[in-house]
Amino acid sequence: MTAATRISLEQWRALTAVVDAGGYAQAAALMHKTQSSVSYAVQKMESVLGVKLFKVDGRKAVLTPTGQLLYRRARYLLEEAGGLEQAAKKLSAGWEAEIRVVVEAIFPTFILLRCLDLLGDESPHTRVEVIDSVISGSAEALMQGRADLAIAGGIPQGFLGDALMQVRFVLVAHPDHALHRLGRKITMQDLRAQRQLVVRETGLRRDTRASVEATQRWTVSSMATSIEAARTGYGYAWLPEEKLRDQLAAGTLKPLPLREGGERYAQLYLIFADRDHAGPATLRLAQIVREQVAKECRLHMAAGAAPKRASRSKRSG
C-alpha cells in the first residue's frame, strides 16, 4: 500500500511556478493566487520536508542544490499527473473528442486524407486537427504538447518513433527554364547561376539543413507556393515526387538532368507525443497510417516504381 503524501500537487505546482516565472509575484499571477498564498505554500513544504528550497543570492532567491533536485522531480510529477488526468478524461468519454496531428509537408496528401476518412468512418464524432509542418516545426509541436501524433522527418530528443517511409525528391523546373535549354547534363556551377526555390521551416528555432545550391533564392512559406513558382518558370526546386504528379504528367514541370545526384530521399517517422497515455482514436489513426503507407508501397512495387519504405524500427532521441 502506497504511503500517504504530505505535500499536495498544488504545493509542488507552486514551487515550479516560482522557479519558472522567476519570482513569487510572477508565480502568483501565473497561478491566479495571492503572493502570500504562494509564499506560504513553499514555506510549508520546507517545514514539512525539513529542507531549504531557496537561498538568497544578492537580492534574488535561487534554488539550493536540494531545491534543484526537488524542482526537477516536481516537474516530472506534475507532467505525469497531467497525463494521467488526460488519459482518464479520454477513457471516460470513449474515443477522444479531438486529436491533433502534425504532418510533415512532404508526406503524400492523398494518403493523409484517406487515413482521416477511414478514421472518420470508425469514429465519426472525433474531430481531427491537422498541423502542417516543415522540418523543425514537427519537433516543436511535439515538445510543446500541441500534437498527439506526428509524421515527421526526425525524432526529437526524448521521443520514440517508428520509421514509416522514404519520400523521393526530384530537382525540377519548367521545361523552358534556362537550365533545360542548356541541352546537356547540369552541373553544380549551372545551378549556382540560377534562382532556387526553398520552403521555409515552420519551427520558431529554424535549423534548416536542406541543400541550397544557389546564392539567388526565394524562400516561401508553403510547398504549394514553391511548386507554383517552379511551374510558372520562376526558378528550380527540390520537391517531393508525389506532390508533382499532375505537373509531371502535364509536362509543366520536368526533372533536371543532373550530372550526378539527380534524386534524394527523406525519411519520415511516425511519433506519438505520449504512447502510454494515447487514446483509442490516436492509436487507431496511427495503425491506419501504417497500413495505408504499406498498402501504397506495395502498389508502387507492383507497378515497378517502388518508393523506398524503411523497415519498422524504433529509436530514441
Q: Distance between CA atoms of 63 and 286, rounded to whole angstroms?
A: 42
* pLDDT tens across the length of the chain (317 residues): 556 678 888 989 988 988 888 888 888 888 889 999 988 988 998 898 899 988 877 777 788 999 899 999 988 888 888 877 766 665 555 788 899 999 998 999 999 999 999 999 988 888 999 998 887 778 888 888 889 999 998 888 889 899 999 999 999 999 999 999 998 999 988 999 899 999 887 654 444 444 556 678 899 988 899 999 999 999 999 999 989 989 999 999 999 999 887 778 999 999 999 888 888 999 999 999 999 999 988 887 777 654 444 444 343 33
CA distance 307 to 37: 60
Here the cell at position 252 is 509543366
**Cell numbers standing for residue 213:** 545550391
As a whole number of angstroms, the distance between CA 288 and CA 131 comes to 18
Say if CB 241 and CB 253 are below 8 A apart: no
SS3 6: coil
End-to-end CA distance of the chain: 35
pTM reported for the whole predicted model: 0.63
